[in-house]
Amino acid sequence: MYFVFSGDAFAVGFAILFGMLWGLAIFNMDRYIVSSINKEGTTNQQILQASPRILLAIMIGIVISRPLELKIFDKEIRQKLKTAYLKGQHRKLDTLQKTYQQKYGMELSKNSDLKKEKDSLERDINRSRTQMNQEVFGDKTDQTSGIVGYGTYAKQKEAILEEKENRLKTVTDNLNQMDGYLSQRKDFEGINSTRLFNGHELDSLASIAGFSDRNWALGQLTYNENGTRDLDTYLAISFIGYLFILFECLPVFVKLMSPKGPYDVAIGKISEADTYFAEKDKEREIQVTDNVYDHNLDTDTAKKKKIITAQSEYDLERHSYD
């Protein structure tokens, strides 16, 4: 209940209240289970009679052992939850990125082409500027005339350089526009606002995790990263549950194994007395009902006779007068 109301200001109060109610319920349930086993029958009859009670005790043991398992393995559960939350955030980012790439594939392809063209133009411009300087200073190469001064060849190279610079400016402007558009799309799709959790955020998420997440993490502790069973952790968790199941079933087993004692004899006599009293009370009610019915029958018969007699005398007197 503390996990259920975690984060509430009255979580501790609710946990204490429901804990007391649960304790009283289990106490009375165990008391009823043990006291209601009848030792008058044979061993097989007693075992058959105790079977539903044993099943109920097993269910109670499983239910009450789970919160203790969650508390004992709290540190491991927190670590498992932090790992799960971090992996979930990774998957979310991957999903957003894939969706973004699918929706804006053409724009991304165009943006990539513009970047390649820009890089190529920048290299060509640097190479052309070097060649123009060599032409002006009269450096003889395969691409220059070797004539010093700002002549025809230098002007041609300058025109080519200017053309490439203009194209670079156009490509740069288009690339900036495309980058701005794609950045807006990333904001719209939630990619820029979604980021991985840091250590403090993971600790906070693990602290406020509900019962369902903690219960899931406890189940995951019994498996290794490769999906195989972690036998040590599995046995540790299982034996805690088995211990509580044994505690719940132990009173029933003790009652079945113990011989008939004075208490059982007294309970049997009280049961026989109650049964005998109930039978006698039934017979009394039946007899009273029969007597009352007979009395009512006799009374009704006498009334009918009087009515018939009076009617007959009246008819006879009237007939005689006529």
Mean pLDDT, to the nearest integer, of 33-50?
77
| Residues 185-233: tens digit of each pLDDT | 878 777 777 777 778 888 887 877 777 888 888 888 888 888 788 888 8
Distance (Å, rounded) from C-alpha 144 to C-alpha 276?
A: 131
Mean pLDDT, the chain, as a whole number? 82
Q: Which residue has the higher pLDDT, 141 or 198?
A: 198
Please check the confidence at residue 19 and state whether its pLDDT lies above 60: yes
Please check the confidence at residue 318 and state whether its pLDDT lies above 80: no
What pLDDT was estimated at residue 51? 85
What pLDDT was estimated at residue 21? 92
Instruction: Determine what percent of the chain is predicted with pLDDT higher than 90.
Output: 2
DSSP string computed for 60-121 = HHHHHHHHHHHHHTHHHHHHHHHHHHHHHHHHHHHHHHHHHHHHTHHHHHHHHHHHHHHHHH
Please check the confidence at residue 56 and state whether its pLDDT lies above 70: yes
